Amino acid sequence: MKTYHLELNDVDDFIPEFANELGVSYSEHLGEFNITVPQKKGEGEIRGINFPNGIGLYSYHCKFYEDIKLKLSLPNIKPIRFLYCIEGELDSYFHNNEDFVTIKNHQFLIAAPKDAETHNLVFKKDTEIALCYLEIDRLKFQQYFSFDLNQLEPIFYKIFSDTKAKHRISKSGSFSLKTAETIKEIKNCEIDGFPRVNFIGAKALEILSYMLTRFKKEKQIFQNKELRERDMKAVEKVVEYIDCNISKVGTVNDLAKIAGMNSNKLQEAFQIIYGKTVNEYLRDIRLTKALNMLTSGNRNVSEVVYELGLSSRSYFSKIFKAKYGISPRRILSRQSKSRPKALKNKGPETP
């Protein structure tokens, strides 16, 4: 097993130090750092970005050709990590295998080392890993609260109040598909520049919100663990199908057949997990994709309507404006005005 011991003095040191250990360069733009895993050691990439509110967002989409252990130590910061394993598996432990836990697909781990303690993350060789985690500087995070910490519910007060890291935390469970969907939105984001930074920052808070809600209500969502896992896998299958076939999704009954359950049960599962009906979920996914397509400036309204599988341009414009408060044509108009004149002189875009 190859071990990389990263003792970091600042949260922004992680990518540069890891890149140095791997013997590769890294890139940075507007505070977002990126490593491409060297071909001799594996494949894929690792990203990281930290925000002024004390929250950092890190994502791994990679595979290593040998077992890799990261020994993470931040002596000047007392972080807490919210890890989400989307694909593959990951081992986590402190010192001599203390609080050893393995998280797999759609499981989360809340982990915080005690003062002067390292947190070890082990990646299995030849295993595709999709991992996302929030790293929170608890002291800095508190400074952004507009209320006294004592007002927090006891379950959250215990997590965020230990700014001197007197206690170790290691709690695992299953995360919601809402969290998975938000992570996917970040991965598929086509926005660039400063708007992208703000988008990721907002989504990081959204992930934290979902995670805390899930942590609090873990035992209340389903009465039966077997039922929970079966229903979540069925809904995940439908969500994946929607994402890959947005232009030809079909009816709720069609999706229920894909899930292997009746339509009423599918609707119930979507309400529990997303708080929406299947059609409401589908509408919101289409609108999110539409916003990304329009703001990228590469498609006109008719192309967006076609790619999303909608039959009515007027209906699309109506629901888009209801959600975002602006018409699709207005967004395209703004995008056009923001382009260099040399590009605009090439001719008008098809409406």
Given this model, what pLDDT does residue 218 score? Answer: 60
Determine, yes or no, domain membership for 349: no
Mind listing the pLDDT tens digit for each residue in 63-104? 999 999 999 999 888 899 999 998 899 999 998 788 999 999
Q: Which residues of the chain have pLDDT under 70?
A: 217-229, 334-351
Quickly tell me which residue has 């947190």 as its tokens.
119
- Determine, yes or no, domain membership for 348: no
Residue 38 belongs to a domain: yes
Establish if 346 belongs to a structural domain.
Answer: no
Q: Are residues 230 and 209 in the same domain?
A: no
CATH number at residue 17: 2.60.120.10
User: Does residue 135 fall inside a structural domain?
Assistant: yes
- Looking at the domain assignment, is residue 105 inside a domain? yes
Q: What is the pLDDT of residue 225?
A: 44
Q: What is the pLDDT of residue 178?
A: 78
Tally of domains within the chain: 2
Domain that residue 181 falls in: 2-217
Which alpha helices (DSSP H) does 90-248 contain, by range? 138-142, 154-160, 177-187, 193-217, 225-244
Instruction: Check residue 345 and give its pLDDT.
Output: 40
Task: Give dist(CA 156, CA 141) in Å, integer.
Answer: 13
Tell which of 217, 242, 272 closes a domain.
217
Express each pLDDT in 44-69 by its tens digit: 999 999 999 899 999 999 999 999 99
Which of the listed residues 185, 217, 249 is the one where a domain comes to its end? 217
Contacts of residue 52, defined as CB under 8 A and 6 or more positions apart, other chains included, come to 140
Residue 185 sits in the same domain as residue 231: no
- Pick the last residue of a domain from 198, 217, 236: 217
CA distance 279 to 346: 40
pLDDT value at position 337?
58
Q: Are residues 42 and 83 in the same domain?
A: yes
Using an 8 Å Cβ cutoff, are 17 and 35 in contact?
Answer: no
Q: 270 with 246, same domain? A: yes
Residues 64 and 124 in one domain: yes
* Whether 278 contacts 175, CB under 8 Å: no
One domain for residues 76 and 111: yes
Q: What angle do CA 222, 239, 214 make, to 5 degrees?
A: 35
Q: What pLDDT does residue 45 have?
A: 95
Shortest CA distance to 335 belongs to which of 304, 305, 291, 302? 291
Whether residue 188 sits in one domain with residue 239 = no
Residues 31 and 162 placed together within one structural domain of the fold: yes
pLDDT at position 338 is: 56
Q: Do 204 and 238 have their domain in common? A: no
| Residue 248, domain CATH | 1.10.10.60
Considering the domain architecture, whether residues 124 and 59 belong to the same structural domain is answered as yes
Q: Is residue 237 part of a domain?
A: yes
**Do 202 and 229 belong to one domain?**
no
Q: Are 299 and 258 in contact (CB under 8 A)?
A: no
Assess whether 121 and 233 both reside in one domain: no
Q: Is residue 343 domain-resident? A: no
pLDDT at 80: 93
